Structure 1
Amino acid sequence: MPNANPRRWLILIAVMLAFLPIVIDMTILHIAVPSLTQALAASSTEVLWIIDIYPLLMAGLLVPMGTLADRVGNRRILLCGLAVFGVASMLAAFATSAPWLIAARMVLALGGAMIMPCVLGIIRRTFDDERERALALGMWGTVGAAGAAVGPLIGGALLEHFWWGSVFLINVPLMALVLPVAWLLLSRTEATTPGHWAIGQALTLIAGIIALVYGLKAGMAGTQPLPLALGVLGAGLVLLAVFARQQLRTATPMLDLSLFSHPVLVAGLVMALMTIGALAGVELTLAMELQYVLDKTPLQAGVFMIPIMAAAAVGGPVAGYLSNRFGVRAVSSLSLAISAAALGYLAFADFDAPGLAVPAVLAVLGLALSIGLTASSIAIMSAVEASKGGAAGSLEATAYELGTGLGITFFGVFMSRVYGHRLITPADLPPPLAQRAAQSIGDSYVVAGELTQGQGRALIDAGKAAFSTTHSVLLSTCAVMLGLLALVIFVLMGRQVPVGNSARSD
């Protein structure tokens, strides 16, 4: 490989270090949900917005930020994004109300959106050899999974000794480390795309995605009148249609819509969106089950979830090897089928007496999902030429963030509905308090704190029983969804695709 970049592995280290704080931030919050809910007296709706405003807003910002990086340079946007992310982490750590925390998470989304498109685009442009690229993407997946693995554990350890804001403050020393490393390792000279950055197109895309997602959220959750939710949803669709027309009519589109003509890329995007959504929802559900129902401390809950995340940490290199040997189609479909089977088992497992079976199945789930997600990255990056790696990376990152946000929304709304139907409140509980307690188990705990000791204990016991049933229904539903997704991906990917040879896959 005479033309290979001699610094390519050092560059990989730099972008992986830049990516690490983002994935830690996405999972570390799950373990802190019960603590911040009670500390901020946040409603179930506010908790959902605290969690998913970050991925949902980032989903709208990723493509515009990726295009901006193409215009002014990936290094500059990456370093700016890391600085913004660090400042926003401090704002989130010292939030005194739910709206403040939601606003800080919005700034975090801006920083994350500046970082994410640069990472995959740099990897695609740096590694021309298909096997090295599969290995590099596997290592990138390992860092992502490892960050997710230590996120709950770090969060649990911090909450054992400090207040909930410490889960955000941990990002500040990470930024202090990552910024100088990225500044030193990333090349100061890089090719950029000529032309201006179409801010009008960017705003249209951002507004369209946010309106679309908010309409879906409001409609599913019933937080707004149905006509209003449908109106916002329709406005989002119109804005996205306007954006698509702009892309087709301009000589320098922000997003090359011809990318969607690659069936393998489309399959990879669908897989990334659905799988990451399921994983985010399952992680949140497990964290709540362990703390609310089984009375585990945040640290104990983090330790309990180590098998799923630790196994996920080794899935990246395994996915690269298996994809080179057996093809992306087989690896993707089989990993999803195994994940579905593992979730089906966990839906009815006894977490109070887990034995060896539950940790083992959690490990299988983490490994299978990690392999599937890395395989989707390999499929997406192998479906386009290097010059379009940044755009493909933006699309993949958008699928991850949109999948995370919609997955948490779906799980949250689904959980609230099932929990409300299953909860049997004490007969002497005033109707307004009973109505609030039925919204979520977090609300039940908040209401219980306002009651006498006997009433509070009865409500908490009823909440635990209702949430255990809710937990089983959610995991069973997720298992069915992943099983169906395995079939869809098998069909979409058509035949076995040689990694890196997109021209022959379509």
Structure 2
Amino acid sequence: MTAPLSTPTRHEELSRPGRWIALSVLVLAVLLVAVDATVLGLATPFLSEDLKPTGTQLLWIGDVYSFVIAGLLVSMGSLGDRIGRKKLLLTGATAFGLVSVLNAYATSPELMIVARALLGVAGATLMPSTLALIRNIFHDARERSVAIGIWGAAASAGAAVGPVVGGFLLEHFWWGSVFLINLPVMAVLVVVGVKLLPESKNPAPGPWDLASVGLSLIGIIAVVYAIKEGAVHGASWGAGAAAVVGVATLAWFVRRQLTLESPLLDMHLFRNRGFSAAVLADLLTILGLAGLVFFLSQYLQLVQGRRPLEAGLAELPAAIGAVVAGLLAGRAARRFSVRAVVSGGLAAIGLALGAITLVGQNTGYPLLGAILLVVGVGAGLAFTVTADVILSSVPKEQAGSASAVSETAYELGAALGIALLGSIVTGVYRGFPVPEGTPGPVADAARESLGGAVEAASALPAQTAAELVAAAQRSFVDGLHTASSIGAVVLVATAVAAWFLLRGQRLEDGAGAHH
């Protein structure tokens, strides 16, 4: 067959309007993922009330998607390089929409966890495909920087639209409706993408090594599981065994990649200092941010008493800041330097996370809004430039694998952040003293989660109920302060590391190297 050899030429012949039209389709895929990620946090209090998950089950619902997607991203990115990124993107988008229905109609915590895991399988196909297609469609470095900025802005816009639309739906329909908003986006993406997206693939990819797929999946999930178990339950034989299995399996995976003629992941990519530094910065940044992102909606609704739509609107400054900063990031990195923009963005996020310690149960919105705006600006600058560095550091034939590494770092950081920082919030929260006279079963239910405390209080006399909820809210805020402080330290340390590791890095260097 000669088709695979001819596909790259299609992109090079795309007109300037054609490139931007193709980008508009890719933006829909980004919106699909971003909206889904944000509505889960908003729906958590309602989901908790209906499905009654334990605190541990609630954490699994929050992070199993990230666990699965992190384990499969490298495999899916490599698969897209082989079978075609357009084909993988449209197949994944269809599956994503269909599995969203299963999420919407889940009837138990266990089924919800399974549905989120399946969504992770579908989600693993989307983000690497979009970035890889951008790398292959936009050959001019400055044009590609703008495209990546728009791609990042779309993710931020989705993060803004998701809570607002989700809040509206939660006020008028049941919690499952927030997952159904994926369907129209998926339908438009597939119908329009079939006609407008150009196909691209590696013209000589070699076979897709199934053994490597299994090793990467088992290794990453085992390591993440070990960290999660250790964070929640402390040192145990189970967590230790999982850690040993995970590390050994990943070592086997790396060794296998170094010996294969056509590896699933070219380990030589990591010899590029800019590539490795950008990937590490992404992982640590989202790790530090994950606790705030996951618990913010609960704080706004269950501590400050905002309605879902109000909570969604309250989060808008972060998205607005990220959209504006993302669109300007490429220009700023060329005017100043890559390391100045990335380090500056990360330091800003770190300072904003530190300011969370000033937020209490009754804090006015101006302070919270300012904090979220700074977080958004910092994230927009840092993530957009690191994505540009990662894409421009590799040959376009390996764009899928490189994008997958970037997204794996992001998802792994999110999973670890929710597991570690989320467990810290939960651990601090569970230590609060219950009012005298509170029955044992009610106290146990209240200590499972803040949502559980609000529900358990409804069975108590008014005075006792008010005292129980107030104590639970104070303890939750204490946990949020602890997690944010740790996140702030992680972000500032990452900013310092990025300043040294990205020394001399320029966006134009990698872009021109492989043309």
Q: Same fold (TM over 0.5)?
A: yes
- Give 1:296's aligned residue: 306
- Give 1:29's aligned residue: 40
Give the whole-Å Cα distance in 1 for the aligned partners of 2:507 and 2:201: 29
- Give 1:14's aligned residue: 25
- Give 2:297's aligned residue: 287
Give the whole-Å Cα distance in 1 for the aligned partners of 2:186 and 2:194: 12
Q: Deviation per CA, 1:452-501: give whole Å up to 9, x if none.
A: 44433321121112222222222222222211111011121123434343
User: Which range moves more in the overlay, 185-194 or 168-177?
Assistant: 185-194
- Whether the 8 Å CA contact 1:65–1:113 is kept in 2: the answer is yes
Please, which runs of 5 or more residues in structure 2 have no aligned partner?
1-10
Deviation of 1:190 after TM superposition, in Å, equals 5.1
Q: Tell me, yes or no, if structure 1 residue 310 matches structure 2 residue 310.
A: no
Deviation of 1:245 after TM superposition, in Å, equals 1.2
User: Which range moves more in the overlay, 33-42 or 283-292?
Assistant: 283-292
- Give 1:249's aligned residue: 259
Task: Give SS of 2:305's match.
Answer: coil
Give the AA of the match of 2:62: I
TM-score (norm 2): 0.93
TM-score (norm 1): 0.94
Q: Tell me, yes or no, if structure 1 residue 72 matches structure 2 residue 83.
A: yes
Q: Deviation per CA, 1:404-448: give whole Å up to 9, x if none.
A: 111111221010111123x11112234454344334322322432
Taking structure 1 as reference, are residues 374 and 461 closer, same or farther at Cα in structure 2, changes over 3 Å only?
same
Give the AA of the match of 1:147: G
Give the AA of the match of 2:349: S
Give the whole-Å Cα distance in 1 for the aligned partners of 2:83 and 2:246: 29
- Give 2:469's aligned residue: 460
Deviation of 1:318 after TM superposition, in Å, equals 1.1
- Give 2:479's aligned residue: 470
Q: Tell me, yes or no, if structure 1 residue 102 matches structure 2 residue 124.
A: no
Matches for 1:49-128 after TM superposition, within 5 Å? 49-128=60-139
- Whether the 8 Å CA contact 2:160–2:316 is kept in 1: the answer is yes
- Give 2:454's aligned residue: 445
Give the whole-Å Cα distance in 1 for the aligned partners of 2:242 and 2:82: 32
Q: Deviation per CA, 1:165-189: give whole Å up to 9, x if none.
A: 0111111121111111111111257
Deviation of 1:503 after TM superposition, in Å, equals 8.2
Q: Deviation per CA, 1:279-320: give whole Å up to 9, x if none.
A: 332122221111111111111111111111222122211111
User: Which range moves more in the overlay, 228-237 or 472-481?
Assistant: 472-481
Deviation of 1:353 after TM superposition, in Å, equals 4.7
- Give 2:438's aligned residue: 429
- Give 1:208's aligned residue: 219
Give the whole-Å Cα distance in 2 for the aligned partners of 1:432 and 1:68: 51
User: Which range moves more in the overlay, 388-397 or 194-203?
Assistant: 194-203
Deviation of 1:272 after TM superposition, in Å, equals 1.1
Give the whole-Å Cα distance in 1 for the aligned partners of 2:139 and 2:214: 33
Q: Deviation per CA, 1:361-382: give whole Å up to 9, x if none.
A: 3212211111111111112112
Give the whole-Å Cα distance in 2 for the aligned partners of 1:128 and 1:351: 50
Q: Tell me, yes or no, if structure 1 residue 333 matches structure 2 residue 339.
A: no
Give the AA of the match of 1:265: F
Give the whole-Å Cα distance in 2 for the aligned partners of 1:321 and 1:388: 25
Give the whole-Å Cα distance in 2 for the aligned partners of 1:392 and 1:378: 11
- Whether the 8 Å CA contact 1:4–1:128 is kept in 2: the answer is no
Taking structure 1 as reference, are residues 355 and 236 closer, same or farther at Cα in structure 2, changes over 3 Å only?
closer
- Give 2:163's aligned residue: 152
Q: Tell me, yes or no, if structure 1 residue 45 matches structure 2 residue 53.
A: no
Give the whole-Å Cα distance in 2 for the aligned partners of 1:465 and 1:181: 49
Identify which of 217, 240, 248 aligns with 1:238.
Answer: 248
Give the whole-Å Cα distance in 2 for the aligned partners of 1:351 and 1:388: 49
Please, which runs of 5 or more residues in structure 1 have no aligned partner?
none
Task: Give SS of 1:318's match.
Answer: helix
Give the whole-Å Cα distance in 2 for the aligned partners of 1:16 and 1:169: 19
Percent identity reads: 37
The count of aligned residue pairs is 502
When the two chains are superposed, the root-mean-square deviation of aligned CA atoms in Å is 2.1
Q: Tell me, yes or no, if structure 1 residue 487 matches structure 2 residue 487.
A: no
Give the whole-Å Cα distance in 2 for the aligned partners of 1:338 and 1:454: 42
User: Which range moves more in the overlay, 475-484 or 56-65?
Assistant: 475-484
Give the AA of the match of 1:173: P
Q: Deviation per CA, 1:98-118: give whole Å up to 9, x if none.
A: 111111111111111111211
Task: Give SS of 1:75's match.
Answer: helix
